[in-house]
Structure 1
Amino acid sequence: MRSSISIVIPFYHAEEFFEETYNSIKSQTLPAKEIIVVIDGCGEKAVNFLASYNDIKVINLEKNGGPARARNIGVKEASGDWIAFMDADDKWEPEKLEKQLFFLNNHPEFSSCHTGIKTFIGKEVIAQFNNKPLELTIEDLLVSSHAVPTSWLIKKSAFQKVDGFDTDIQCSEDHDITIRLVAAGENIGFLSEPLAFLRREGHGNISSNGRKIFIGHRQLLKKHQSLYNQHPQLKHQFMYKTCMTAGGKTTGLEKKYYYFLGAIIKMIFNVNIH
């Protein structure tokens, strides 16, 4: 029996890893209603590559617009009541969708949920993240993003309620949408079991670029300025963590700049990181 889950995957030059991603989707104990792959301006090479997968729906965008735009377009075309996001180089545990939908059916107060995650390179797991709040609050989200698209299952109606991802935000569009969802009364739950795997190989993953993280977080601060101003301590924590994260993902003078800026913020605002 199939669920009413549509899987939406932005695809950008992911030929090397897509087979592993696809196999993890097809191994789900609760099969999805449909798999929608949105080619984000890759041209005929990607179209020809995906043509060999005869059970996916392919949307070919001529111009590259980033993953937020690709996901929005995929959701618009989806026929399922639920949306599961997947990146074209990540993978899931076989029970991921089944356990999430079971959780959501038993917790109707949540319109979406995310799971614990493992990051990996090749066949090696390098880190695990599953110590997160059962229910995300605005205060949680003003400091950290918590939910990543590959671990997320959301009601299509909730996604549409907040008009999807903001395509003007770089790198942090997933963080932004969770803030807007919780502010709109759409609660986000958490399954601590790590059911999603995020690839961390050096192949252009946007999260590996410290400068884009820094710019994206500045955009978040500006967009949600009123919320951050209501919680100045959390604002300063977020600013400090932004600098330290960006510094850890850059090199040379830029790395020193972010670390120096973080040290100044910590000293001036007496930032206490737990």
Structure 2
Amino acid sequence: MNLPMRESPQVQDGQFPSEPLVSVVVPMHNSAAHIVETIRSVLDQTHTNLEVIAVDDASSDATVAIVEGMADRRIKIVRMETNGGAGRARNAGIDAASGDYLALLDSDDRWYPDKLEQQLRFMDRTGSAVCYTRYDLIDAESEQIGQSGRLAASVTYEQLLRHCIIRTSSLLVDLRALAQPVHFPEIRKRQDFVFFLRLLKQVPKADLLDEVTCSYRLHSGTVSSNKFRVIPFQWNVYRTQEQLPLGKSVSLMIGWFFNAGFVNARRFAQWVESK
């Protein structure tokens, strides 16, 4: 499925437009299959004042060579000597960022062309410091298979604890609103959840731009993933990362398990229906 592309504003005399600089962090590990589509969706944004910080997490395939071949001066490649996981790679990208706004994009997801423009306008109009959006679901061949569905108009720290509704690739953060930098925990799973929680300890809430602005790629293994395998990682978030009381952690785990099961079942149904 090809997204409709708009003509981007022209850059005059080698200078970017006088608009906010957005730093886009893309962690990569053996991402050759989809990395061109992913990064191209950033470079083709109608908001052109951006930098792409592509962090290679010790890939063994042609990922880096492919990105180097894209030859756009807005791309900055950061190389990790050893594989440390997506959280560590994203942190390296955050540390290398120089923009007023931070966006994150997984290496197999993609954006709609006006994603950043829409969010920046929304945040300027509402004063929001953290913005998330709806998203669609695509398969390995980039064909649409479903939608995220309706999401809450805003979410606080306590609400997010119960159900993480934010998709990493939809996020935009005004870094100027943070009292101190926020980084991902260097854990292998659920690091994005902890990152969102850390953001919401510094700002009152995250706000929804009620538009589909990005595509989340589902692979067959993702659709049929076993939530039982994620239980220890979710428990680690509540007890170790957030250091919540035992009783509250148990209650949150029960709610999370049923929510996660419902979401997984809906995605599986959308996947089957699309085939």
- TM interval, shorter chain, is 0.7 to 0.9
Q: Residue 21 of structure 1 corresponds to which residue in structure 2?
A: 38
1:57 to 52, 76, 88: 76
State the one-letter code of the partner of 1:185: V
SS at match of 1:60: strand
Give the 3 Å change call, closer, same or farther, for CA 106–248 of structure 1 in structure 2.
closer
Instruction: Using structure 2 for the length normalisation, give the TM-score.
Output: 0.78
1:176 paired residue among 189, 194, 202? 194
Closer, same or farther: CA 185–48 of 1 in aligned 2, 3 Å = closer
> Matched residues in 2 for 1:228 and 1:162: separation?
29
- More displaced 10-residue stretch of structure 1: 224-233 or 50-59: 224-233
Higher mean alpha-carbon deviation, 226-235 vs 25-34, is at: 226-235
Task: Tell me the distance in 1 between the aligned counterparts of 2:224 and 2:213.
Answer: 20
Counterpart of 1:118 (choices 116, 123, 136) is: 136
What secondary structure is seen at the aligned counterpart in 2 of 1:161?
coil
Aligned positions of 1:207-218 closer than 5 A: 208=225, 210=227, 213-218=230-235
Would the aligned equivalents of 1:228 and 1:234 in 2 still touch at CA under 8 Å?
Answer: no
Of residues 225, 236, 241, the one that matches 1:219 is 236
Give the equivalent residue in structure 2 for 1:237. 255
Once residues 38 and 207 of structure 1 are traced to their aligned partners in structure 2, the CA distance between those partners, rounded to angstroms, is 28
Unaligned 5+ residue runs, structure 2? 1-16, 268-275
1:141 corresponds in structure 2 to 160
Displacement of 1:62 in angstroms is 1.3
Query: Given that residues 36 and 78 in structure 1 are in contact (C-alpha distance below 8 angstroms), is that contact kept between their aligned partners in structure 2?
Result: yes
Q: Secondary structure at the match of 1:14?
A: coil
Deviates more, 1:156-165 or 1:212-221: 156-165
Asked if 2 retains the 8 angstrom alpha-carbon contact of 1:118 and 1:197, the reply is yes
Structure 1 gap segments, 5+ residues each: 250-274
Give the alignment partner of residue 128 of structure 1, picking from 147, 152, 155. 147
Structure 2 distance, partners of 1:171, 1:248, is 22
**What is the rounded CA distance, in whole Å, between the counterparts of 1:27 and 1:167 in structure 2?**
31
Q: What residue in structure 2 maps to residue 192 of structure 1?
A: 210
Seen in structure 2, the aligned counterparts of structure 1 residues 247 and 37 have a Cα distance that, compared at 3 Å, is same
Shift of 1:104: 0.7
Take 2:87 and 2:223, find their aligned partners in 1: how far apart are those partners? 12
SS of the residue 2:216 aligns to: strand
Question: 2:129 and 2:227 mapped to 1: Cα distance?
Answer: 32
CA separation of 1:247 and 1:44: change in aligned 2, threshold 3 A: closer
Question: Is 1:97–2:116 an aligned residue pair?
Answer: yes
State the Cα deviation string for residues 37-77 of structure 1 (Å, max 9, x = none): 00001147333232212221101111111111111110111
Q: Is the 8 A contact 1:206 1:212 kept in 2?
A: no
Q: 1:91 to 1:179 in 2, by over 3 A?
A: same
Query: Is 1:77 matched up with 2:96?
Result: yes
- SS of aligned partner of 1:226: coil
Contact 2:239–2:245 at 8 Å: present in 1 too?
no
Instruction: State the shift of 1:134 in Å.
Output: 1.4
CA distance in 2, matches of 1:157, 1:209: 39
CA RMSD of aligned residues (A): 2.9
Aligned to 1:35: 52
From the superposition, tell whether residues 38 and 95 of structure 1 become closer, same or farther in structure 2 (CA, over 3 Å).
same
**Kept in 2: contact 1:143–1:234 (CA 8 A):** yes
- 1:196/1:245 Cα in 2 relative to 1: closer, same or farther (>3 Å)? closer
* CA drift at 1:230: 5.2
For residue 246 of structure 1, report the CA deviation from its aligned partner.
8.4
Identity %: 27
Structure in which a larger fraction of residues adopt helix? 1
Alpha-carbon distance, 1:155 to partner: 2.1
**Counterpart residue type for residue 235 of structure 2:** R
| 78-87 vs 16-25, greater mean Cα deviation | 16-25
1:202-230: per-residue Cα shift (whole Å, max 9, x none)? 4x769946465223212112133436745
Task: Tell me the TM-score normalised to structure 1 length.
Answer: 0.79
Amino acid at match of 2:206: I
Q: Could you list the per-position Cα deviations for residues 89-121 of structure 1 after superposition, in whole angstroms to 9, with x for gaps in the alignment?
A: 11111110000011111122x211011011111
Taking a change above 3 Å as real, the CA distance of residues 71 and 225 of structure 1, as seen in their structure-2 partners, is same
Give the drift of 1:139.
Answer: 3.4
SS in 1 for 2:192: helix
